[in-house]
Structure 1
Amino acid sequence: MAETLPPPSAAERKKAQDEAFRLTELVVNSQERELRVNSIRIEGVDYTRRTIVEDLVKPILESQNLGDIIAESREACHRLSRLGVFKDVGVTLDTPTDPYGAAGELVDVVLTVKEGPRLYARTGADFSNYDTTTNITARISNAFGAGETIEGHASYAVQPNVALNESAASFASESGSYFQLLFSKPLVPKPVFQRPNRADPDARVELAAYSTNRNMSLYMSHEEEAKGGIARYKTIDPLKGTHEFSYDVAWRHVHKVTQDASWSIRQDAGHSLKSAVGHTYTRDHRDDSMLPTEGSFIKTREELAGLGGDVRFVKGEAEGQWAHPLGGGFSLTASLRGGLLLPLFGQRPRINDRFTLGGPNTIRGFRQSGVGPMDKQDAVGGDAYWAGGLSLFTPLPYLINKPLKGHVFVNGGSLAPVNTRDTLENNARNLIRSPSVSAGLGLAVRFSILRLELNYCLPLTATTTDVAKPGFQFGIGITYM
């Protein structure tokens, strides 16, 4: 029978606390002690190139005292973790064996790492009001020993082929597909224009090739195919935010236009070539990106198309979110977003470049892309939009510690074309004078990679072209208004 040890006595607990306090005080009082690094030993590196790891830990050698050594060693562990190669990183300090008797002024830094698995694969399925998507992702991490990632992703969506005219509904299936091959590499060491001797894995380059075919028949009378490539440069700063600079070239094809398609769809049918540069800035200080209870989020995106190809415009979007805890498991979230598209050189905006609005992830209580201008049965989008929402999340009885919340919301917004011949004041007035607004309540569930909502929605105001969807609405996704 296993022997049960008695709990420590009050005297033993007091002795342990005094010892911990003495060690802490010793370290604090010794931080200014002059101490230099004799060597850095790295243990546990099997596949990763040692030169990459050495570039990340080299700043430890610049330490002048014990405090510097501790701080630089901790920061080196953070850099190694951000490389995306190691799942465990630890550091210890050791006394070197110095034949010249200087061991008291030197210290060895021992970094112990454990490389993560290099192969990863996942399959899954997502469900929403509008389609069912199956997907598969395969990834090779640390492909060539320098933190590179090679990833392939494929998804296939199936949705009911219900025509916009209910009397013409059929039970066939329409599909959409998406394929992407991505190569990503951290820039270690940093380029020469960065701070010398300070390699950092937070700057990355990415190259991606993709092919997609989107079935738009739920709210537009066509399908859209696109094939292209993207080059990106990313810099990541947890405090200041992430910057992403990109160049995207895509061949696009609006095809399978139905017989009853509107003129807005027909005039943009066929091929187009977009060549664009873009910049995205993201700063996320929320405690949870899926179902936040505290913190703020800001994201902006600018895009300039026209560096070649036959599509020319400038486009900008911004969104923000603020979450605040109210106590007792209650929290309040406010969201706001907007966008503007301006054609260049007198070119008319195309149907596949305009904004759309409405649906369970933006303005609930309306059909997907059901807010804004319509041409016959087609949602043709707009050149400017704004949308805002206010959500109250509440705890549920017996489920307070579960990622399941009650949800009460009000959201609204507007989408409109921009008349470049009219004044800015008149365009702004057209955008804000008749917002589409809805309210409702339901449930929000947070999963590891997405959020699910089931809400009862009641449209409060709508324009003559909006397609309202009162009653229960089901949504699944990553970002919500």
Structure 2
Amino acid sequence: MEFQRQTKRGKEAESKAQRKAEEAEAFAEAAERHAQAQAAGRKKKKVMKRDGDEDEEVERSKLEDEARKATLDAEPPVPPPFMHNLDRAQIALESGNPYEAAAVPLRLAAIRIEGAKNLRPSFLSGLCRPYLDGTLKPDNPLHRLLYSHRLHHTLPGQPTSIPAILALTNSLGQDLTSFDLFSDIAAQLAPAASPSSSSSSSAEDVDVVLRCQEKGRFFLKTSTEVGNGEGNGVVQGRLRNVLGGAESLEGSASIGTKTRKSFALALVSPLFASPDHSVSLSAFAQDRDLTSYASCVEGLRGVRAALSVNAGTLGLHELAYEVQHRHVGRLLPTASMSMRRLAGHTVKSAVSHTVTSDTRDDPFMATEGRLLRLYQEYAGLGGDASHYKVEGEGQVSRAFGRGWAASLSARGGALTTLNGLAPRFSDRFQLGGPVSLRMFRYNGLGPRDGADSLGGDAFWAVGASLLAPIPTRPHWPLKIHTFLNAGQLAQVHGREKGTAWRELGQPSSSFGLGLLYMQSGLRVELNAGLPLTARKGDGHRKGIQLGIGISFL
């Protein structure tokens, strides 16, 4: 019985444990279902909230789009950035389109010169006048004479282009450079500082700006000069811009082998603020040793006033008045009787006119171009010299490739007295020497009395020259040249005309070959040659002859 009771209690305990396990399992399942239900609720709430936010964002975006559209409809569009036409032209030039740059419209507004603090404003205004003043006309002869090519540039306010404005800038820069006042001139184009009120014109208005750096006002130098058969030691001083109008005061003193001593002082001022025209006042004194051909020393003292005008294609004209006191004296003991009669004091008061037209590429060793020069002098406005004197010079040069060039030159002159007296020694012509008629002695042609060359009142000379480069060295300043010269000098006054003209028609001539060297405007010739013909009494020489000078036949 006891065993049955224990068995029964065991089964009840087992049954009770099984029921608890089932209840725990059911509770776990219920808890899991509850957790899943809560998670699903939270997810649903999140989805509903996100959908609401999206709807609200869409609505807000629509409102903003409508407001932005209303603003754009109410305000004008923003214009593009402003660009001056000068910038457009420069961009076209930099990109290699010069024709496109030239098509960009521009207008000259003003000219600004900066850094010229010592020049008078009135002078600068006069300098710029031909580029700015519309009342000056190219077809007016007086205006054309005063301002020449400067009148052909486009005036302010007129449509133009960048090439035309650059040409104006270059012309004005050359004008400033010619006054020798500035060490550096920098040119620039800039949008106008005071443009037109019109918006379309303001994009076209341009200022020409020249920035100048002035030279020192005082200049002093010493030098040695060799030329025309003599050598000199020179001290030269210059004061620039004396009165604020580009005037220059220049003085020089020298001693030399033939010009024993010399002094000169000159004041030069431009006219109408133009480098083409000037007026000058000068005083001078010199003593020249002429004993190498005339057994005397000549002293000159004088003053001179000159007006210089550049007439363009009509040449450079100079009108001058000069008063000279001349003294031919200090004769050598061997001086001839003719030379003694010509010695003494004379005074010349004369007016002269010189016209020069020069298109040569190099005035010292021309290979292209031509030269025409005519000098006329009338003496008799006082003093004891009374004459009319004329002298001319011409040269034509042509190059024909590989450094070869040929030139033809001619000179001539005549003097006639107006008081019936013989010409004064100081007014006569002289001819001969390495710079005028090669292979003849210096001033060795014409009438003579013993060792003295007396000079003449008529002469002529012609020359032909052929220049060739040094083989394999065409760039050297050393050239080979051959020459043929001919000329004659005679005294016509007081002689039978037929005899005098026959003497002029008997040329002395020479031929030779030599070397020609150019250095800093000085021409040096070393020639070997011989006279071909010579009139009796003319001083000629054979062999080697050295010539140093500036102007050669």
Q: Tell me the TM-score normalised to structure 2 length.
A: 0.74
Q: How does 1:328-367 map to 2 (within 5 A)?
A: 328-367=402-441
Task: Decide which of 206, 210, 224 is 1:107's aligned counterpart.
Answer: 206
Identity %: 38
Q: Post-superposition shift, 1:275?
A: 0.4
Q: Post-superposition shift, 1:73?
A: 3.8
| Residue 265 of structure 2 corresponds to residue 181 of structure 1 | yes
Identify if the C-alpha distance between structure 1 residues 410 and 38 changes in structure 2 by more than 3 Å, giving closer, same or farther: closer
Residue identity opposite 1:46 in structure 2: K
Distance 1:381 1:261 in 2: 15
**SS class of match (1:202):** strand
**SS class of match (2:426):** coil
Give CA deviations for 1:62-82 in whole Å, capped at 9, x if unaligned.
Answer: 421224655544433333233
The answer on whether the counterparts of 2:189 and 2:206 sit within 8 Å (CA) in structure 1 is no
Q: How does 1:33-182 map to 2 (within 5 A)?
A: 33=105, 36-61=107-132, 62=134, 63=155, 64-67=158-161, 69-89=165-185, 90-96=187-193, 98=195, 100-102=197-199, 103-127=202-226, 131-158=230-257, 176-182=260-266
| Residue 347 of structure 2 corresponds to residue 268 of structure 1 | no
Distance 1:98 1:288 in 2: 45
Residue identity opposite 2:177 in structure 1: S
The answer on whether the counterparts of 1:53 and 1:80 sit within 8 Å (CA) in structure 2 is no
The answer on whether the counterparts of 1:60 and 1:69 sit within 8 Å (CA) in structure 2 is no
Residue identity opposite 2:213 in structure 1: K
- The aligned counterpart of 1:27 is 101
The answer on whether the counterparts of 1:222 and 1:256 sit within 8 Å (CA) in structure 2 is yes
Q: How does 1:399-418 map to 2 (within 5 A)?
A: 399-418=473-492
**SS class of match (2:239):** strand
Give CA deviations for 1:27-71 in whole Å, capped at 9, x if unaligned.
Answer: 3324xx4x5444332222232223212221234434212246555
Residue identity opposite 1:45 in structure 2: A
Distance 2:230 2:116 in 1: 45
Q: Post-superposition shift, 1:267?
A: 1.2
- The aligned counterpart of 2:310 is 236
| Residue 530 of structure 2 corresponds to residue 452 of structure 1 | no
Distance 2:277 2:92 in 1: 45
Q: Tell me the TM-score normalised to structure 1 length.
A: 0.84
Q: Post-superposition shift, 1:99?
A: 8.8
Distance 1:122 1:107 in 2: 42
Identify if the C-alpha distance between structure 1 residues 98 and 462 changes in structure 2 by more than 3 Å, giving closer, same or farther: closer
Task: Decide which of 296, 307, 310 is 2:384's aligned counterpart.
Answer: 310
Asked which structure has the greater CA Rg, the reply is 2
**SS class of match (2:395):** strand
Would you tell me which structure has more strand in proportion to its own residues? Answer: 1
Identify if the C-alpha distance between structure 1 residues 23 and 241 changes in structure 2 by more than 3 Å, giving closer, same or farther: same
Superposition RMSD in Å: 2.5
Distance 1:129 1:36 in 2: 53
The answer on whether the counterparts of 1:129 and 1:473 sit within 8 Å (CA) in structure 2 is no
Aligned length: 436
Distance 1:127 1:421 in 2: 39
Give CA deviations for 1:446-468 in whole Å, capped at 9, x if unaligned.
Answer: 11131111111211111111011
Identify if the C-alpha distance between structure 1 residues 99 and 224 changes in structure 2 by more than 3 Å, giving closer, same or farther: closer
- The aligned counterpart of 2:325 is 251
The answer on whether the counterparts of 2:227 and 2:522 sit within 8 Å (CA) in structure 1 is no
Give CA deviations for 1:130-189 in whole Å, capped at 9, x if unaligned.
Answer: 543222222222223211111112221126xxxxxxxxxxxxxxx622211111000134
Residue identity opposite 1:92 in structure 2: L
Q: Post-superposition shift, 1:291?
A: 1.0
Identify if the C-alpha distance between structure 1 residues 101 and 134 changes in structure 2 by more than 3 Å, giving closer, same or farther: same
Distance 1:123 1:238 in 2: 35
- The aligned counterpart of 2:450 is 376
Deviates more, 1:302-311 or 1:72-81: 72-81
Residue identity opposite 1:53 in structure 2: L
The answer on whether the counterparts of 1:407 and 1:444 sit within 8 Å (CA) in structure 2 is yes
**SS class of match (1:27):** helix
Distance 1:277 1:101 in 2: 58
The answer on whether the counterparts of 1:94 and 1:110 sit within 8 Å (CA) in structure 2 is no
Residue identity opposite 2:475 in structure 1: N
Task: Decide which of 296, 316, 324 is 1:222's aligned counterpart.
Answer: 296
- The aligned counterpart of 1:431 is 504
Distance 1:281 1:120 in 2: 31
The answer on whether the counterparts of 1:60 and 1:73 sit within 8 Å (CA) in structure 2 is no
| Residue 382 of structure 2 corresponds to residue 294 of structure 1 | no
**SS class of match (1:306):** strand
Residue identity opposite 1:352 in structure 2: S
Identify if the C-alpha distance between structure 1 residues 53 and 366 changes in structure 2 by more than 3 Å, giving closer, same or farther: same
Distance 1:240 1:38 in 2: 33
Deviates more, 1:245-254 or 1:393-402: 393-402
Identify if the C-alpha distance between structure 1 residues 95 and 258 changes in structure 2 by more than 3 Å, giving closer, same or farther: closer
Distance 2:402 2:541 in 1: 33
Give CA deviations for 1:287-340 in whole Å, capped at 9, x if unaligned.
Answer: 111111111111110011110000101100000111111211111111100000
Would you tell me which structure has more helix in proportion to its own residues? Answer: 2
Q: Post-superposition shift, 1:239?
A: 4.1
**SS class of match (2:455):** coil
Residue identity opposite 1:325 in structure 2: A
Identify if the C-alpha distance between structure 1 residues 154 and 296 changes in structure 2 by more than 3 Å, giving closer, same or farther: same
Q: Post-superposition shift, 1:283?
A: 1.3
Q: How does 1:272-283 map to 2 (within 5 A)?
A: 272-283=346-357
Structure 1: where are the runs of 5+ without partners?
1-15, 160-174, 190-199
